[in-house]
Structure 1
């Protein structure tokens, strides 16, 4: 904000820095321009060329002061670390990964307008010991170097481990061809895990770069090494004071690893293929603090799950991403940022550190209103992120936001962002279950819901009968989202639910954006039996309740993580023929990973809808085909969130009645 021609005031820090005449000239004109004052002596001003003067969001190339050791950063690297223990070899997973990497490495992310990626790549295989590969372009064949002492992890080679893919393509092809055969006769079933991450950190340190580890792992690390885990899955703890321990990661080695990874800008993405309990809460701890992702494929089979996994891998490798990021949120007087939720690491109360930040992650910020806000000037907030691009350039990205302030509660409720609210409540509840019993957390959620709605009824709504439930227009769907949240796996105390699945969902939600939590908590239920094949539009979703299903209908349900095609028992034979090329549903057998490609308008339209949804979502979704009244339908029904929960939890109408009673008690 300009005070005079040479002095300005920062709305965040309330300081008055000196401003050069040239810069002040532009800000003065910009200020007057916005006040609709015409200045005849200023004919051409370049403030529109200065993003900080004319845009709310902009980026700067950072100076050396913002680079480690005052040197420009090197481009990041990707290391692919493949578990070659017995199960992964016999299932065909290792061969599937190696075959896919031959084509996927051609599509490494690159800056717009650049011909090829500058990201370097490296390869490690492991079971109880680690194998590093020299893939230097000058070699005719790759060379393996083994590290068996996992207690003191180091990288046995520097030159030839991290290479440019284009330069070393032939050697890398040979390696990827050889790996499945190299371990074809293995009987080793024990694995290490923490030393694998440590090896990646050491490699990035040696290369003086940031980067990402892609770890493909299948079992709990039980080999004698740092980070060895023991089975602590105890269903007796469910619905007790100690249930929270099931979500808490084991301390020590992994806690230090998270710190080391963030310091080096080492992001960890974990692809898990478990057939039993693996202690997800601990194994996913490093990814969840380094801006990473965790993908989980239970009882993986190449035939039915292969394409599902490969879709995730392709998106993960190719997505837009920045590394070695640090973020700070500033505000004007009257309120301040007090808490942060995401796949982040915090060493203090203000700096949000992320080894990487990608296009699918979000950080949720809680603000506390602790002083008077000025209705005339409004409230200002700024989010600044310092990060390294995929080409190795240090940049500073700034987002500035100006918000109106009001002393009228009715204005606050009118402007309420329900989707953002539910994202915040989900993340705060999922963090709270690390320290509090589930019942306490759910009671707090209900209490907060009732208090918000009671406050509106008391201060904003027109007088009406006490028996009438009054909801703000902007919050009409808030109770259905809140009820759905309380029926999610992490908040339902049921021994029938997998502890690892519950921990996985808890950690996934912590990094989700608003749109993703909205979809997770209220899935889309799309009728497909009356398709207009000539229309480009997606059929309108219906309410997520059994009441909306029809015996003669076909519905697609998706929530960003799961996808079902539900078929009513009276589905018309011509519909079944068009979709499956079968005379009736009775002929539909076993698992079908994808719909058959048939040359008719209905088949093309349905497959197009499914493809567009898979493309749009951050995660791949495995299509599960469910016939009405078959046993697998029970899994589908737990996603009908307006109905009573299969593992506990009220229907939407019952919850609404309960909240209404709570509101009436608060108002009496």
Structure 2
């Protein structure tokens, strides 16, 4: 089986373009995987196992914040948890280490050495890897030398006064190392500041809030220089995935720095005002990122039966043509959204179904070349009313958002917002025109409220304290979200915990995201997908406070957060309420690809302003419309199309 199959006989069967084998498509959905032959390997050679290269910023800001020490300490533990398919067998992933500021330091950690050796590359304009033997090594063979290195790095740079850093040469160095080793892999880059040192990819501070809301705003989301786009192309060709961990205290131009991670199927993690005391989020994200199963040097192709075709793709990847989605790295946290267009008659005799096939050719963490096939059969209908009854509003919003966020690179934000409203209005107007009832089907009633949430998002309607970097970060984050993630991101989950039944495993029924739904005597958990807030009403009962916080009075609750919103740790108490609440928090965290900090918010506390920002049905302090105001202000385009009783009331 190969990814170059063609559908035949009305879409029920597909045929390999090379070996001519024919496979029957089952009625609904299935997936399977094959080991690929050497014909599907790069240069007709069986691939080497991948490598992980850890590249740590050791400039003054990085050392002073404690980031260098924490990362080095954590990496010593994570050496035992490199990805592997068989937990009983050691990982085949090799590792290498680089530190950098204005120059790069490569480390020889060969097992025969008594201690690690540093090699410095100061000519960052003409980057090269100064050593091959001893740079990428097996952990089991070189553990003693590696641990010695990780212990020494914080000491070596403890007194540094170097404040300038490079960035593009760091990626180039990792790429060249993987090329020299003839393998795919991932770069883990831990970075703190805008790369202003004289080097390829040097950037300047272009944060200009005067451009927000103007036609020039789109330039702020475009990469500052073209160098990173070209570098990303080289990385994809080699199967070099880049994950970027940012620890900034000021503007770092995320829109530019994220180009290579996003294009290679990597991830960006951002921790503003990083503190050693509040490091849980960064460490948990790093642990998950290192351990998760991955595919490398992947190519994805989507094919369909007659009448349907794939026309557009959204996500973190690179495309050199219109059909092949190229991913230097592919993991469980990435979603590729595909737009299909119905532009021809469906095939006769297909049983009323349309077929889609997704084939992914990739290299596993063990170095095996594999082919994974996903097939899906979708029922077709001839009546528009049937289509509306079976559509999924969450999926529509996920697609519209990704389309809108990408449009921000070429269109003014106002144009993008208006386009979203018009698209929603067209959907509702089409239903009203083609069907007799004025009321929308149940699955579509929430479309206007979700649309308003998207329009009020910090990317399309930034809050006063939302930086350009935060907007760029959220924009690229949403581009790779699946439907469940984007749903809770735009419409957070609000649970009244004071109504929780500790005798069962069920969760309390969620309430609408509005301040009028909050009771002063209640306790509420709000999940956004990126944060968790525990809101405590001023009149909460003494028993409730005792069960959760171990204190009898509202005034005795210590939220434990300062100016930098440090995470709150719930006390471990021996009562059913405390156990279930902590279980819910951990359950929510396991459902999301990024660790969610828990912040306790006392009623009328200063942090309550941030909490209320996520009550998305209310008007926010930066001009974002409440749901009712949104409907009234778009009467002609939305409310009229919904019809009497069609809105979510």
Q: Could you say whether these structures have the same fold, taking a TM-score greater than 0.5 normalized by the shorter chain as the test? A: yes
Does 1:138 pair with 2:112? yes
Deviations 1:134-166 (A, max 9, x none): 111111211111111110111111011111111
Query: How many angstroms apart in 2 are the aligned matches of 1:514 and 1:366?
Result: 14
Q: Which residue matches 2:232?
A: 258
Q: Which residue matches 2:158?
A: 184
How far off its partner does 1:16 sit? 10
How far off its partner does 1:403 sit? 1.7
Match runs of 1:537-556 below 5 Å = 537-556=506-525
Query: How many angstroms apart in 1 are the aligned matches of 2:504 and 2:300?
Result: 44
How far off its partner does 1:576 sit? 2.2
Q: Which residue matches 1:343?
A: 316
Q: Which residue matches 2:342?
A: 369
Deviations 1:457-513 (A, max 9, x none): 121243x6xxxxx22222122222111111111101555321110100000001111
Deviates more, 1:220-229 or 1:373-382: 373-382
1:635 aligned residue (606, 610, 614): 610
Larger Rg belongs to: 1
How far off its partner does 1:595 sit? 1.3
Q: Which residue matches 2:122?
A: 148
Does 1:172 pair with 2:146? yes
Describe the SS at the equivalent of 2:128. coil
> Do the aligned partners of 1:57 and 1:397 also contact (CA within 8 Å) in 2?
yes
Deviates more, 1:449-458 or 1:602-611: 602-611
> Do the aligned partners of 1:271 and 1:296 also contact (CA within 8 Å) in 2?
yes
C-alpha change, 1:487 and 1:105, in structure 2 (3 Å) is same
How far off its partner does 1:665 sit? 6.2
> Do the aligned partners of 1:269 and 1:292 also contact (CA within 8 Å) in 2?
yes
Describe the SS at the equivalent of 1:504. helix
Does 1:233 pair with 2:207? yes
Q: Which residue matches 2:564?
A: none
Query: How many angstroms apart in 1 are the aligned matches of 2:88 and 2:316?
Result: 30
Q: Which residue matches 1:530?
A: 499
Query: How many angstroms apart in 1 are the aligned matches of 2:371 and 2:191?
Result: 35
Does 1:207 pair with 2:181? yes
Query: How many angstroms apart in 1 are the aligned matches of 2:642 and 2:404?
Result: 26
Describe the SS at the equivalent of 2:126. coil
Deviates more, 1:610-619 or 1:288-297: 610-619
Query: How many angstroms apart in 2 are the aligned matches of 1:632 and 1:435?
Result: 36
Match runs of 1:566-577 below 5 Å = 566-577=535-546
C-alpha change, 1:164 and 1:14, in structure 2 (3 Å) is closer
Higher relative contact order structure (alpha carbons within 8 Å, sequence separation ≥ 6): 2
Query: How many angstroms apart in 1 are the aligned matches of 2:554 and 2:361?
Result: 56
> Do the aligned partners of 1:79 and 1:121 also contact (CA within 8 Å) in 2?
yes
How far off its partner does 1:52 sit? 8.8
Describe the SS at the equivalent of 2:106. strand
> Do the aligned partners of 2:354 and 2:377 also contact (CA within 8 Å) in 1?
yes
Describe the SS at the equivalent of 2:502. coil
2:452 aligned residue (483, 486, 507): 483
How far off its partner does 1:451 sit? 1.1
Q: Which residue matches 2:647?
A: none
Q: Which residue matches 1:43?
A: none
How far off its partner does 1:291 sit? 0.6
C-alpha change, 1:495 and 1:538, in structure 2 (3 Å) is closer
How far off its partner does 1:652 sit? 1.7
C-alpha change, 1:143 and 1:18, in structure 2 (3 Å) is closer
Describe the SS at the equivalent of 2:216. helix
> Do the aligned partners of 1:450 and 1:660 also contact (CA within 8 Å) in 2?
no
How far off its partner does 1:648 sit? 2.4
Does 1:619 pair with 2:594? yes
1:560 aligned residue (529, 535, 560): 529
How far off its partner does 1:663 sit? 4.9
C-alpha change, 1:493 and 1:599, in structure 2 (3 Å) is closer
Query: How many angstroms apart in 2 are the aligned matches of 1:453 and 1:407?
Result: 19
Q: Which residue matches 1:46?
A: none
Does 1:516 pair with 2:516? no
> Do the aligned partners of 2:631 and 2:638 also contact (CA within 8 Å) in 1?
no
Query: How many angstroms apart in 2 are the aligned matches of 1:89 and 1:576?
Result: 40
Query: How many angstroms apart in 1 are the aligned matches of 2:144 and 2:639?
Result: 73
Query: How many angstroms apart in 2 are the aligned matches of 1:570 and 1:115?
Result: 56
2:580 aligned residue (605, 623, 626): 605
How far off its partner does 1:274 sit? 0.6
1:453 aligned residue (428, 434, 451): 428
> Do the aligned partners of 1:456 and 1:472 also contact (CA within 8 Å) in 2?
no
Unpaired runs of at least 5, structure 2 = 1-6, 562-566, 644-649
Query: How many angstroms apart in 1 are the aligned matches of 2:12 and 2:446?
Result: 35
Describe the SS at the equivalent of 1:56. strand
How far off its partner does 1:214 sit? 0.7
1:472 aligned residue (441, 444, 447): 441
Describe the SS at the equivalent of 1:167. helix
Query: How many angstroms apart in 2 are the aligned matches of 1:16 and 1:70?
Result: 19
> Do the aligned partners of 2:11 and 2:354 also contact (CA within 8 Å) in 1?
no
> Do the aligned partners of 2:201 and 2:225 also contact (CA within 8 Å) in 1?
no
Match runs of 1:485-500 below 5 Å = 485-500=454-469
C-alpha change, 1:10 and 1:179, in structure 2 (3 Å) is farther
2:62 aligned residue (88, 99, 103): 88
How far off its partner does 1:114 sit? 4.5
How far off its partner does 1:14 sit? 8.9
Unpaired runs of at least 5, structure 1 = 1-6, 31-50, 465-469
Query: How many angstroms apart in 2 are the aligned matches of 1:416 and 1:296?
Result: 35
Describe the SS at the equivalent of 1:140. coil
Does 1:650 pair with 2:625? yes
> Do the aligned partners of 1:458 and 1:667 also contact (CA within 8 Å) in 2?
no
Q: Which residue matches 2:83?
A: 109
> Do the aligned partners of 2:464 and 2:622 also contact (CA within 8 Å) in 1?
no
Query: How many angstroms apart in 1 are the aligned matches of 2:354 and 2:426?
Result: 25
Query: How many angstroms apart in 2 are the aligned matches of 1:386 and 1:358?
Result: 13
Match runs of 1:55-94 below 5 Å = 56-94=30-68
Deviations 1:166-211 (A, max 9, x none): 1111111111111111111111111111011111100100011111
C-alpha change, 1:56 and 1:611, in structure 2 (3 Å) is closer
Describe the SS at the equivalent of 1:380. strand
Deviations 1:15-39 (A, max 9, x none): 898999xx78xx7xx7xxxxxxxxx
Does 1:586 pair with 2:555? yes
> Do the aligned partners of 1:12 and 1:330 also contact (CA within 8 Å) in 2?
no
